[in-house]
Amino acid sequence: MTAAANIHATAIVVGRTGLLFSGPSGWGKSMLAFTCMTEARRLGLFTALVADDQVLLSGETGAVIATCPPSIAGLIELRGTGIVRQDHVPEAAMHYAVLPGSASGENRVPPEGEIVSLAADVSLPALRLLTGVSSPLAILMAKAPDIGD
């Protein structure tokens, strides 16, 4: 097990799949995660917040575990709206890192099999997503059909 690294991200679970939204401040990590949770509920899938803004990440026997600092458990900040309470779990295995996509230039189509390093000895397969899309969970599920299983 690696020591937990505190990273600026948002972690959620959809079904049994952990999604870690990571990117620059202001990208919309929290709103994208919240929208994915809302979509999952409409589809009848289990979903829960793990942590927003601060995610403690550690590697345990081949798995990446996200944990929430107790002081922010169940809270997510929706920029321009405020902080809202969500169903939450204190920790969960993460399976994908959701990162900002690019709508133009040579990076418009991200490489297949992209892996991102999030902390020392902690890496996840990357899924790219543009902010402002109306159905982010549908896009993620099209790219990774095991989401929601």
Number of domains composing the chain: 1
- What pLDDT is recorded for position 112? 78
Q: How much is the pTM?
A: 0.92
Q: How many other CB atoms are found less than 10 A from the CB of residue 18?
A: 24
Evaluate whether residue 149 is within a structural domain: no
User: Coil, strand or helix: which one is 36?
Assistant: helix
The tens place of each residue's pLDDT in the chain, 149 residues long, gives 557 889 999 999 999 999 999 998 888 899 999 999 999 999 999 999 999 999 999 988 889 999 999 999 998 988 878 899 999 999 999 999 999 987 665 566 667 788 898 888 889 999 999 888 889 999 999 999 999 88
Query: Any residues with CB less than 8 A from the CB of 20 and at least 6 apart, and which?
Result: 9, 10, 11, 55, 57, 64, 66, 94, 96, 97, 98, 118, 124
In terms of Cβ atoms closer than 10 Å to its own Cβ (0-12, 13-18, 19+), residue 98 is: buried
- What pLDDT is recorded for position 1? 56
- What pLDDT is recorded for position 133? 86
CATH number at residue 63: 3.40.50.300
- What pLDDT is recorded for position 108? 65
Evaluate whether residue 127 is within a structural domain: yes
Q: Which residues constitute the domain of residue 14?
A: 5-143
